[in-house]
């Protein structure tokens, strides 16, 4: 289309892309896992670049403290506590109506990730926890889908391309750290520039994969913007890797009825359950209204009790604010939501 040639002219004139590259980009489907700082930056760039379909999955809602670095959200989104996936989709629809944008308000877990990957050519990591990254790694290695790791904290960031069958995977690099052993954005803070740089690298790597450009050199990039350090490393596949060599997908196969984990950057715990039936939020609201302050915004219930705030979604997934103790959170969940 002439209109498209005009819209993407600067990208098409870049020799690495050209008309053929743009055509490939327009036929690609990407999944962005997480829509915080990395995810909103990447969704912005990929939708503007004309990727055919962009699927965005995020379990969270917009808060005032997000606005410092999460580029697609504004004060109204924070006031309304809109789900990030929805706020992203609404913004980006206005920017490029030619891209199919799909918003999924959900946690990514072993039960749903393979369904989410249906028809996806490439996955972009923008999560805030390592457990989900290892799950993404398992699912992508199993289904031979390229994915791009990305993580930031403070002024440092890291990204790595993982092309199953060609490159090392995340488990070749290291095994999952134990819970509580890693610093979080809550304790260390994060600058707005760090995710912007890492997301820009991830997005450009994504375009390269879409157009079939395979540069040589290091596949792991580490930056420290505060100290101006930029490093590249070559990670080789590990001969004993349980995932890409052993075809054992421990994170994908892990089955827990109820899972709880602390959320990065907040004094909060998320509980998710394997139950298939949906909660009746109206009924639950009525039940909880005698115990504390409860509100319904059409997407979830907000329930305040004691020093806690519970955000309860229709699939029973619950974010419990006011504690980082997973056991206490499980107890509150059982008490007020039920499992």
Q: What does the binding site for Zn ion look like in residue numbers (CB under 5 A)? A: 169, 171-172, 241, 243-244
If the CB atoms of residues 234 and 339 are measured against Zn ion, the closer one turns out to be 234
Give the nearest distance from C-beta 239 to Zn ion in angstroms: 10
What is the distance between the alpha carbons of residues 207 and 12, in angstroms, rounded to a whole number?
12
Give the nearest distance from C-beta 209 to Zn ion in angstroms: 18
Sequence-ordered list of residues with C-beta below 8 angstroms from that of 258, at least 6 positions apart, any chain: 271, 272, 273, 274, 330, 333, 339
Q: Answer whether 158's CB lies under 8 Å from 222's CB.
A: yes
**Ranges assigned E (strand) in 163-251:** 220-224, 229-233
DSSP-assigned letter for residue 243: T
If the CB atoms of residues 170 and 190 are measured against Zn ion, the closer one turns out to be 170
If the CB atoms of residues 209 and 223 are measured against Zn ion, the closer one turns out to be 209
Q: Answer whether 134's CB lies under 8 Å from 173's CB.
A: no
Give the nearest distance from C-beta 125 to Zn ion in angstroms: 15
3-state secondary structure of 321: strand
Q: Answer whether 198's CB lies under 8 Å from 158's CB.
A: yes
Q: One of 35, 140, 172, 185 is an active-site residue; which one? A: 185
- Of 63, 57, 133, 121, the C-alpha closest to 302 is 63
If the CB atoms of residues 52 and 218 are measured against Zn ion, the closer one turns out to be 218
If the CB atoms of residues 148 and 260 are measured against Zn ion, the closer one turns out to be 148
172 is catalytic: no
Residues in the chain: 339
Q: Name the token pair of 62.
A: 């917009």
Which residues are 105's β-sheet partners? 58
Q: Answer whether 237's CB lies under 8 Å from 189's CB.
A: no
If the CB atoms of residues 79 and 253 are measured against Zn ion, the closer one turns out to be 253
DSSP-assigned letter for residue 289: T
Give the nearest distance from C-beta 280 to Zn ion in angstroms: 44
At 139, phi and psi to the nearest 5? -65, -40
- Of 328, 275, 281, 327, the C-alpha closest to 305 is 328
Any idea which residues carry the catalytic annotation? 185
């Amino acid at each position: 289309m002439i209109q498209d040639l005009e819209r993407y002219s600067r990208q098409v004139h870049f020799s690495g892309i050209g008309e053929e590259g743009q055509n490939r980009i327009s036929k690609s489907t990407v999944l962005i896992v997480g829509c915080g700082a990395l995810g909103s930056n990447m969704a912005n760039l990929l939708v503007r670049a004309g990727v055919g379909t962009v699927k965005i999955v995020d379990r969270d809602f917009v808060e005032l403290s997000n606005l410092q670095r999460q580029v697609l959200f504004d004060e109204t989104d924070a006031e309304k506590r809109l789900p990030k996936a929805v706020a992203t989709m609404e913004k980006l629809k206005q920017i490029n109506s030619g891209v199919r944008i799909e918003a999924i308000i959900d946690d990514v877990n072993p039960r749903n990730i393979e369904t989410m990957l249906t028809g996806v050519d490439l996955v972009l990591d923008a999560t805030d926890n390592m457990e989900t990254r290892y799950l993404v790694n398992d699912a992508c290695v199993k289904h031979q889908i390229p994915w791009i790791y990305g993580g930031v904290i403070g002024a440092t960031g890291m990204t790595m391309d993982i092309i199953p069958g060609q490159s090392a995977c995340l488990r070749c690099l290291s095994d999952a750290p134990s819970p509580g052993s890693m610093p979080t954005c809550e304790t260390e803070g994060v600058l707005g520039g760090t995710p912007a740089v890492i997301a820009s690298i991830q997005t450009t790597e994504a375009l390269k994969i879409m157009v079939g450009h395979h540069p040589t050199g290091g596949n792991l990039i580490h930056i420290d913007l505060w100290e101006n350090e930029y490093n590249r490393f070559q990670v080789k596949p590990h001969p004993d890797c349980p995932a890409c060599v052993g075809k054992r997908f421990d994170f994908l196969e892990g089955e827990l009825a109820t899972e709880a984990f602390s959320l990065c950057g907040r004094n909060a715990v998320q509980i998710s359950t394997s139950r298939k039936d949906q909660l009746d939020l109206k009924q639950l609201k009525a039940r909880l209204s005698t115990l504390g302050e409860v509100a319904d915004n059409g997407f979830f219930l907000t329930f305040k009790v004691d020093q806690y705030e519970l955000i309860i979604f229709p699939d029973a997934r619950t974010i419990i604010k006011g504690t980082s103790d997973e056991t206490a959170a499980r107890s509150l969940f059982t008490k007020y939501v039920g499992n």
